[in-house]
């Protein structure tokens, strides 16, 4: 009986259409990483997802900042220091204070971009190290977007 049940289950699994596991038309060029099974977090912040940029092996970390402290720049620094190691050639982090605006892929909609609180990018090969703030976090026009 056990052997028969196992055989029936195996047949059901094999007969299941592929579309149950992969949605037709789904864009697989930017996928949520499986190399970060335990997503990082700290006081006032947490990584919601890390998304690979195409198939580059480079990831954008999508971070949620506690809305009650989103103007506290030390929260952003703590996340940057945890997520970007000094030896990393590339690191990109985007920050939001409302989870509903955090995108599923690397490209942002207009509304997601409007709600972005900060963005940190290091690309040593291109000579880039930049931290930009939304004007709601840092009203200095020289630093905000």
Per-residue pLDDT tens over the stretch 7-37: 333 333 333 333 233 333 334 344 443 444 4
List residues bridging with 29 in a β-sheet. Answer: none
Class of domain 25-133: alpha beta
Q: What is the pTM of this model?
A: 0.71
Residues in the chain: 145
What is the reported pLDDT for 141? 82
Confidence at residue 38, expressed as pLDDT on a 0 to 100 scale: 63
Convert the pLDDT of each residue in 35-60 to its tens digit. 444 678 889 999 999 999 888 889 99
What residue ranges do the domains of the chain occupy?
25-133
User: In terms of Cα–Cα distance, which of 135, 129, 142 is closest to 116?
Assistant: 135
Q: Which residues contact 63 (CB under 8 A, 6 or more apart)?
A: 45, 46, 47, 48, 79, 83, 93, 94, 95, 96
Structure tokens at 109: 């909609």
- As beta bridge partners, residue 47 has 63
Higher pLDDT, 131 or 33: 131
Please state the φ and ψ torsions of residue 46, each to the nearest 5 degrees. -160, 150
């Amino acid at each position: 009986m056990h052997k028969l049940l196992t055989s029936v289950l195996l047949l059901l699994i094999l007969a299941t259409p592929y579309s149950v596991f992969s949605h037709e038309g789904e864009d697989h060029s930017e996928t949520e990483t499986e190399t970060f099974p335990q997503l990082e977090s700290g006081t006032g912040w947490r990584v919601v997802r890390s998304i690979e940029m195409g198939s580059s092996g480079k990831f954008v970390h999508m971070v949620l900042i506690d809305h009650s402290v989103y103007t506290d720049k030390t929260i952003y620094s703590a996340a940057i220091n945890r997520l970007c190691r000094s030896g990393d050639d590339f690191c990109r982090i985007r920050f939001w204070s409302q989870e509903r605006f955090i995108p599923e892929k690397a490209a942002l909609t207009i509304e997601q971009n409007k709600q972005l609180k900060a963005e940190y990018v290091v690309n040593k090969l291109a000579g880039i190290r930049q931290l930009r703030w939304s004007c709601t976090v840092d009203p200095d026009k020289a630093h905000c977007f």
